[in-house]
Chains A and B, each alone.
Chain A
Amino acid sequence: MSANHDSTTLLEVRGLTKIFGTLTACDHVDLNIAKGEIHALLGENGAGKSTLVKMLFGSLEPNSGEIFWNGQPVRIASPGAAKKLGIGMVFQHFSLFEALTAAENIALSLDDGSPISSIAAKARALSYSYGLPLDPESLVGDLSVGERQRIEIIRCLLQTPQLIILDEPTSVLTPQEADKLFETLERLRSEGKSILYISHRLEEVKRICDRATVLRHGKVVGHCNPRQETASSLARMMVGNEVKAVVRAPAEGIETAPALLDIRALTRKPATPFSIPLKNINLRVRAGEVIGIAGVAGNGQGEFFESVSGEVLQQDAGSVRIRGKDAGGLTITGRRLMGAAFVPEERLGHGAAPRMKLSENLLLSRHATDGKAFVGSGGMVKSGAVYSASQRIIEAMDVRKSAPDPEAAALSGGNLQKFIVGRELDRRPSVMVVNQPTWGVDAGAAAHIRQALIELARSGSAVLVISQDLDELFEISDAIAVMHNGELSKPLPIAEATFEKIGLLMGGAEPGHAEHTLETA
């Protein structure tokens, strides 16, 4: 079969299939990308976007199917082969080396053997010409996520590719940094380069992409022009049915409600050279409200969560108060016994033990708080009670699974997250702290989790949500505070908050000093 080639097509993919065991991650995928276009690849988590892209970049080998480059059939056996063809990639989870400098990182992906100093000079020149200033001597471990992405982009551009693949590039950027990125992409398009843009953010796809290919469960379900679609029609193509909108009933009487979680002058020294110190954080979460914490990844959110949950103890017991009592010196179990519940960022290995069953995972986190229900006399586990409690959670949260009580690792990310959140909600905690509640969770499950968090708050609990997803925070929060470089801004009531205001705070501008825009934006 030969391609009926027309000269405007750069890359054509026909019937590309990749099978992992029993899962068909990509099922006869067709895709074509024209010269000088920004082509969106849309799909939910697990729809097969990353698998498809890895096959195009040569890090995975397809089971069947054909790839045509400029009309010629090609086999892309390795990332090196992809680079030779002219395919460059900006990775979602950055493929950078933290212990090396920016210039060394760039040198590693160029095969020309020129000395580091000349590569550094070229990278600096190119970065300024695209308005993405970069210091080649800086150590990657010291850089912000946005700056790291710049290195990836510059590294990719130095290879003068014809096709640039960007995998979820804006998920780690402030809105202002994302705008800057879009300018760069539009400039690249005007230079005749093609861009394959992978995202699940519909608004930005509508804004910059010329065409879109939508994947669902490994299959192409449609091609469209995103500018002629609405966000909800695109979402319907991606998800396959309507996603229930999250409803946030107005919060009433919050001003007079007691603060169930009270953080006063929380300060923490950096634990490692690359971690962020917390500086004098003050925050009150009252009964009945949801407070969101926004911020670019790596600005101290992880450290903050550890301090609030009790994974790390504070020296000043009064710096974290739960239901009016000092909790700073208590461990995570101590804080749970006071009525608090915590959901950490990583599901596997932190939120749940991967090789243990769901019921066992339930017991692990609740054996102390629900000792009477789950543990009998002489320390024997009442497995019947634990099992029925885990089934109750599975039902309440609509967790989809293949066995009655499967291992945690056997669940998809979204379903495991529903279980972990449900496990804490099931206790009706009066304080709930969640870090990245819906990271990597599909839209349906995410809506379910968000709705559950709002309902918990409205029933009289205090809910604190740390998230990188601004859309999510705007959907569920009554007020949003922003964490930047270990400092927390004052919470902005949702009625006053805008993407722009929050974005400036994420970039480090002081509230009320918006003209102080930072140089990193």
Chain B
Amino acid sequence: MDITVNILLTIATAATPLLIAAIGELVVERSGVLNLGVEGMMIMGAVGGFGAGYLTGSPWIGLLAAVAMGAVFSLLFAVMTLSLATNQVATGLSLTLLGLGLSGMMGTGFVGQPGERLPNLDIPGLTSIPVVGRLLFGQDPIFYISIALTAAVMWFLFKTRTGLTLRSIGDSHTSAHALGIKVIRYRYLSVIFGGACAGLAGGHLSLVYTPQWVENMTAGRGWIALALVVFASWRPWRVLAGAYIFGAVWIGQLHAQAFGIPVPSQLLSSLPYLATVVVLVLISRNKRLTMMNTPASLGQPFVPDR
């Protein structure tokens, strides 16, 4: 029984950073902006979070620093693509490259240092309930943030007027502009929100997952988050499902490798990617629904004629 609980906990830990980064990017893309710099913002969040935690001794300050780092880093992307109307794909790719390099430089002093870990939730009486206690009341704080964030984004996008406005900008920025909606302002805020989320996801890696600093420790998770958004056809609950399927198969294949199942390890390592793609493609078979949810102006620069 304990093993099952432990496996479930590790799955949640593996899925949380993917979920947070992907939910952030989902909001960005719903506003019509394609930010391929998730990996770069995430690693900046990781190094910023670890550094602040290590220097101050408080993982909570580390958490805030991770969020701030991602947000500030995304601002660079926002200024380039929104105010200067540069190509979003190229700018996003350079943001990732810049983030990987810059974080490596900033983190040289942190390599091999023991970091601060965010404590797990511990509610007397509740956490000690067998099985469900640790699953529901004994996880790290960022896990709870990720679930709340998903619910909040769902509510915001589909139940509020501001969310409707954001989606309309993603559908057609020229129409939105003609109605007097402040396209650039909405997109700035969306990009910064996406950056903050990516930073938080990075902070999860260096403050919870493995509380230490290793160069390139995001290991492609930013790219997985980006792919999740597309395969989930820009719907929050599908992003959640995708992140957990990925996490589950990831942990599953690690255990399978440990048991020494006679399957090439390369094949096992590729399983999480395969499984996630297959499942998400299956649930987005409805072409019409996919069309409705795809932001039609995604990736197109917007320059109002003045």
Contact = CB atoms under 8 A, between A and B. Distances in A.
Contacts of B288: 273
B180 A80 contact: yes
B291 interface: yes
Interface stretch (A101-109, A189-197, A283-291, A451-459): A101-109
Given A91-B178, A108-B165, A108-B179, A100 B171 contact: yes
A97 B171 CA distance: 6
Contacts of B292: 99, 139, 141
A109 B167 contact: no
A177 interface: no
Contacts of A104: 164, 168
A79 B178 contact: yes
B171 A272 contact: no
A60 B176 CA distance: 15
B113 to A, nearest CB: 49
Contact of A96 (B175, B287, B291): B175
B168 A108 contact: yes
A59 to B, nearest CB: 6
A99 B175 CA distance: 12
A109 B175 CA distance: 11
A135 interface: no
Contacts of A272: 287, 291
A113 interface: yes
Most buried by B among A94, A100, A108, A274: A108
Interface string A51-71: 000000011110000000000
A95 B178 contact: yes
A128 B168 CA distance: 26
Contacts of A60: 305-306
A89 B180 CA distance: 12
B214 interface: no
Nearest to B291: A273
Nearest to A105: B168
Contacts of A107: 161, 164
A83 B180 contact: yes
B180 A100 contact: no
Contact count band on A: 20 to 34
Interface in A261-313: 272-274
B95 interface: no
B66 to A, nearest CB: 34
B177 A59 contact: yes
A100 B164 contact: yes
B127 interface: no
B164 A99 contact: no
Contacts, number: 69
A78 interface: yes
Nearest to A272: B291
A94 B176 CA distance: 11
A78 B180 CA distance: 6
Given A60-B306, A272-B291, A273-B291, A98 B180 contact: no
B180 A97 contact: no
B174 interface: yes
A276 to B, nearest CB: 15
Contact count band on B: 20 to 34
A98 to B, nearest CB: 7
Given A60-B306, A113-B161, A95 B174 contact: yes
B9 interface: no
A117 B294 CA distance: 24
B293 interface: yes
Most buried by B among A78, A97, A100: A97
B181 interface: yes
Given A60-B305, A107-B161, A108-B168, A99 B177 contact: no
A89 B179 CA distance: 9
Given A107-B164, A108-B165, A273-B288, A99 B180 contact: no
Contacts of A61: 306
B229 to A, nearest CB: 16
Contact of A79 (B179, B296, B305): B179
A97 B178 contact: no
A99 B181 contact: no
Nearest to B294: A99
Interface string B145-180: 000000000000000010011011001101111111
Contacts of A95: 172, 174-175, 178-179
Interface in B175-217: 175-181
A105 B171 CA distance: 11
Contacts of B291: 99, 141, 272-274
Nearest to B179: A109
Nearest to A81: B180
Interface string B284-300: 00011001111010000
A142 to B, nearest CB: 9
Contact of B175 (A83, A97, A273): A97
B171 A273 contact: no
A96 B174 CA distance: 10
Contacts of B179: 79, 95, 108-109
Nearest to B161: A113
A83 to B, nearest CB: 7
Contacts of B177: 59
A170 B67 CA distance: 53
Interface of A: 58-61, 78-80, 82-83, 89, 91, 94-100, 104-105, 107-109, 113, 116, 139, 141, 272-274
Interface of B: 161, 164-165, 167-168, 171-172, 174-181, 287-288, 291-294, 296, 304-306
Given A61-B306, A89-B178, A99-B167, 14 more contacts: A95-B175, A95-B178, A97-B167, A97-B172, A98-B171, A98-B172, A99-B293, A104-B164, A108-B176, A108-B179, A109-B179, A109-B180, A139-B292, A272-B291
19 contacts: A59-B178, A89-B178, A91-B178, A95-B172, A95-B174, A95-B175, A95-B179, A96-B172, A97-B167, A98-B171, A98-B172, A99-B167, A99-B296, A100-B167, A100-B168, A100-B171, A109-B180, A139-B292, A141-B292
